[in-house]
A and B are shown apart, each in its own frame.
Chain A
């Protein structure tokens, strides 16, 4: 059975292919259109999926959309009615769009497919999953657990914002939920907005900013903005928020409460902003810990699966791990709405009657589900681009690359199938020396063209992770979704505040150590990514360094590169020294001859 899961029309549109329960392909539309968080129907993604797997559109048995638009519309109407006459402006703006596009999504999907593939598909082939169920399925089925608690934390789906599922033997049963407008995701997004970052995009910047500040607004938040119960359930004080009825996230009362003006994107980041980021991060962590502790206590199940946008908060994830609340945790790397496409397809397959109550099979999950370019294809593309390149056999390639990394060169690493989800995991990555003192600043300013405070993450050989980081031996973090302490640090205390803290980092891997002596770690094993592992192995044998800086292969504001052309363009427009496309290496200096 061939199933295509689709997420679209809000943000992060994507398509995934599941064949007889196996995950075959998954890709985000932004990678093809080059429009960050593209929300349009994933035409290019579906095209890629069909071409890659030699399928025609008629070969697809089901197209499953990741949420139910009618339920969402019902929530919209209910919300406007509840708050009326406030919100009229936003209502007038939203309703025509809903009536024109979103209410008739079935027809919309049929038309989009017809437009691209010139074939009209049967309406009976189109199905709709539920938003949080899609998230839950994306986390439960690819995990290795037969029984698990699945926690989905998101902005909002149809009605729910936080949902707890009990999953066993392929069944996923909802056991608890919290409803819109009370949402941890939207609370975090409201602060993201107030701090001058883009909602649905800048949340991880808030998380990265938090360690520069002190949580001095935490009490204020807990006293006025959110009422958190002992079991982790919560209620927002909607007096301070505008997202239910308006076109902004927060209102004047929110600003008055915080005591300073909303930051505009171009404004300088001040200590107050850092303190506010630290405060909301701390509140979010407390809530997530309370929820997970309570779930463990109540259900006494050892396995936890996480998904939904909030599950990308790797600092909070790291705290769940550190407190050892659950024995095992599995987090979907495409935890945001893009991953909903995968979950929708999986839910459709496994929740159909004949699959329920069977013991869940172990699906071998890999995040490398996107396009791949063979050496032959790479050469053709590079020739079309008139690039100057040199071919290296594997062994000499790993040797050359590891040497250049240790010489503090930054390079684009383009290998194998592209990752699904927001993290670059060694297929479309920028790599650099983790031991360099200046690399964090240089990469941010000269390569990524982004804020200098943003931390970088390490990718490390699995077997060495416990030597460098506070992980148990054999613990795996293959998707870069967990933050943990860096070992052997001097943990110097100082009077430095704000961005000055960057000067205080004193570890042997400063480029990947954040100012609070933590790191967002990717462990790499031979099984998870053989080529990347081989490179790290070479770095270890030659330079006693089993880790590198691994950051996404893009510049600020652009999607991660997908094709050879994208990689070349990014390489040419940044201060990257080398580009490694499969077995071809390009030296920047040779390109202008």
Chain B
């Protein structure tokens, strides 16, 4: 799997360390509060239930099938990696820069006897993995927190096999407008005002004590992150073109026939990427949909040619 030989450390993690300053800065931001964390009574079944309730993770797992190698870039505590691993014979690689988060995932796997997840700590800008190794790469919510998202994408795409699929999730330039405005208001008036302005925090506030960790993580992630950039579907399409990746599907969908069916996304069928105006319209529309309310993240999936 790796370009150079490395052994697991005594905590069962492949640790390549971090050399880049921006990566270290992001790592320091996440290290004190790994999220989502595991509670004592969490087990395999619970991880499955959470994953199965999320249409994106559920359908992506079905899309992967069995006997595949999967890299999750920016896995954090690796709940998604574990979800993709449970009840499959896939080999999942949970890759993140934050050691403490990976450790939580590793401990959970040991407790639940899950053997098909490897935990790797390193920098996504480094050339750590073999070229053409993974069948699937999931990289959502990560690149927009790096110094150079395009370069990061170009680096990880090398690890993808020909005919393999990559899922990229990024903050959208239009879909995240409300969050960006709230960031400004937060800077002026402080964090408390977010409990009135942010729909997700309003929801979490109802059970403030129970959701304490979630609230802190959400505020940190959405409003206080030291590195953040915004992108568009067309920008990702350009990255795809330059790296010989064929557009496969996206959320929001830009296929005119399927625009009303984002929540029923079936990854077994390739979509049309629509034209520039439809893509622009769909991204502006995000402001008013669930996607915008949840931070304005858009997803594009491509196939390596």
Contacts and interface: CB of A to CB of B under 8 A. Distances in A.
Interface in A375-434: 384-388
A385 B116 contact: no
A593 B67 CA distance: 11
A4 to B, nearest CB: 26
A557 to B, nearest CB: 12
A572 B65 contact: no
A385 B67 contact: yes
Nearest to B113: A592
Nearest to B91: A386
A573 interface: yes
A385 B66 contact: yes
Interface string A350-392: 0000000000000000000000000000000000111110000
A384 B67 contact: yes
A82 to B, nearest CB: 36
A68 B195 CA distance: 59
A387 B65 CA distance: 12
A73 B164 CA distance: 49
A387 B88 contact: no
A384 B135 CA distance: 13
A300 interface: no
Nearest to B89: A591
A569 B89 contact: no
B89 A572 contact: yes
Interface in A534-577: 565, 568-569, 572-573
A277 to B, nearest CB: 29
A446 to B, nearest CB: 11
Contacts of B66: 385-387, 565, 568-569, 572
B46 interface: no
Given A592-B115, A592-B116, A386 B67 contact: yes
A385 B87 contact: no
Contacts of A387: 66-67, 89
Contacts of B89: 385-388, 572, 591-592
A593 B87 CA distance: 12
Contacts of A385: 65-67, 89
Nearest to A575: B87
Interface of A: 384-388, 565, 568-569, 572-573, 591-593
Contacts of A565: 65-66
Interface in B101-127: 115-116
Instruction: Pick from A386, A387, A572, A591 the residue with the most CB of B within 10 Å.
Output: A386
Interface string B52-79: 0000000000000111100000000000
A360 B115 CA distance: 61
Nearest to B88: A572
Contacts of B88: 572
A387 B66 CA distance: 8
B86 to A, nearest CB: 9
Given A565-B66, A592-B116, 12 more contacts: A385-B66, A386-B67, A386-B89, A387-B66, A387-B89, A565-B65, A568-B66, A569-B66, A572-B88, A572-B89, A573-B87, A592-B115
Interface in B155-213: none
Nearest to A385: B66
Instruction: Pick from A388, A568, A592 the residue with the most CB of B within 10 Å.
Output: A592
A117 to B, nearest CB: 19
A388 to B, nearest CB: 8
A572 B115 CA distance: 14
Chain B binding site: helix, strand, loop or mixed by DSSP?
Answer: loop
A568 B89 CA distance: 10
A41 B116 CA distance: 40
Contacts of B67: 384-387
27 contacts: A384-B67, A385-B65, A385-B66, A385-B67, A385-B89, A386-B66, A386-B67, A386-B68, A386-B89, A387-B66, A387-B67, A387-B89, A388-B89, A565-B65, A565-B66, A568-B66, A569-B66, A572-B66, A572-B87, A572-B88, A572-B89, A573-B87, A591-B89, A592-B89, A592-B115, A592-B116, A593-B115
A591 B85 CA distance: 12
Nearest to B90: A386
A501 to B, nearest CB: 28
A387 B89 CA distance: 7
A572 B66 CA distance: 10
Contacts of A384: 67
A442 to B, nearest CB: 16
B110 to A, nearest CB: 14
A591 B87 CA distance: 9
A320 B66 CA distance: 48
A385 B68 CA distance: 8
Contacts of A386: 66-68, 89
A497 to B, nearest CB: 31
Instruction: Pick from A385, A387, A388 the residue with the most CB of B within 10 Å.
Output: A385
A592 to B, nearest CB: 5
A127 B115 CA distance: 57
Contacts of B116: 592
6 closest A-B pairs by beta carbon, nearest first, are: A386-B67, A385-B66, A573-B87, A572-B87, A385-B67, A591-B89
Contacts of A591: 89
A18 B89 CA distance: 41
A573 B45 CA distance: 11
A385 B66 CA distance: 5
Interface in B239-272: none
B194 to A, nearest CB: 34
B82 to A, nearest CB: 13
Contacts of A569: 66
A573 B67 CA distance: 14
A262 to B, nearest CB: 26
Nearest to B116: A592
Interface string B279-290: 000000000000
A165 to B, nearest CB: 42
A48 B253 CA distance: 31
Nearest to A591: B89
Contacts of B87: 572-573
Contacts of B65: 385, 565
A572 B48 CA distance: 13
Contacts of A573: 87
Contacts of B68: 386
A591 B89 CA distance: 6
